Structure 1
Amino acid sequence: MQANDVRLLRAAAIPTILVGLVAVLVAAFVDGGKGALGAGIGVVAVGLFFAIGLIAVAYASRISPTMMMIVAMASYFVKLLVLIVLLNTFADTDTWSPRAFAWTVIVCTVCWTVAEARGFMKLRMLYVDPETKVPGMPEERGGRA
């Protein structure tokens, strides 16, 4: 991962963890241990879901922009399938609070998305190459050609 990718991951993960801790405390107050467990699982699910995607795309960016999009879509599809399987597997469980899980996932997803967008805007990364060479054009040396 490049330094920008690490900064972006940190910019999104830290606020999400803090919001997640608040969600766990609120869920523990409202629903007890089951609420805290549901909220904790929600925080971990959101963190893993978004971090895996960001890391996968960061590594694919070394290859090509086309590969970035392919990896982004493939990782999203795989994560979504895994999430569906896990939710269906634990649909009838009463070990944790589904309400606390759901609200925590929603709140942490919004937090991650906003924090990641804010972190990306603060990167001040160039999105064009300022010294592009056009194929077939002679290089200018000291003046106009």
Structure 2
Amino acid sequence: MQSNDARLLLHAAVPTLAIGVIAVAVSAAVAGGAGALGAVVGTALVLLVMGAGLAVLQYAAKNLPQLFQMMGLLLYTLQILLVGVFLLAFKGTTLFDTKAFAFTLLGATLVWIAAQTHGHMKAKILYVDPDSAEAKAAETAGSPT
């Protein structure tokens, strides 16, 4: 993982984790232990799904740049499906408070997206590799043979 990738992950994960901690405290106060557990599960799900998605997108950008946009669209679809499968699997659970889980899931997802967007806007990522342009210029500047 490049330093830009790690920085983007950190800029998205830290605010999401902070919101998760706040959600756990609020859920514990409102719904007790089950609410706190629901908030923990919601935060963990967002960090896992969105973090894995960011890692896959960074891999695609580095190794398969021609497929980057398609991979992004496919990845977001898969993320929604994974969360949907999780919701269906734990639809009638009594392990945790589902309302605390749902609100935490929604809030953490929105915070992740906002933080990731902010991180991308502030990152100074070159879209042209200056080394390859210099190598190409040196290659064409030689004597004709």
TM-score range (shorter-chain normalised) is 0.7 to 0.9
Give the structure 1 partner of residue 117 of structure 2. Answer: 117
1:126 equivalenced with 2:115 (yes/no): no
Partner of 2:57: 57
SS in 1 for 2:25: helix
**How high is the TM-score relative to the length of structure 1?**
0.82
What's the % identity of the aligned pairs? 39
* Amino acid of the structure 2 residue aligned with 1:41: V
Partner SS state of residue 61, structure 1: helix
1:79 aligns with 2:50: no
TM-score w.r.t. the length of structure 2 is: 0.82
Distance in 1 separating the partners of 2:116 and 2:82: 23
Residue aligning to 2:90: 90
Structure with a larger share of its residues in helix = 2
Instruction: State the distance in 1 between where 2:119 and 2:83 align.
Output: 26
AA of the residue aligned to 1:89: A
Alignment gaps of 5+ in structure 2: none
Letter paired with 1:7:
R
Deviations 1:90-132 (A, max 9, x none): 1111221111111111111121112112222221222345685
Q: Matched residue of 2:62: which SS?
A: coil
Q: Pairwise mapping of residues 1-145 of structure 1 onto structure 2 (< 5 A)?
A: 1-128=1-128
Given residue 83 of structure 1, which amino acid in structure 2 is its aligned partner? V
SS in 2 for 1:124: coil
Q: How many residues align?
A: 138
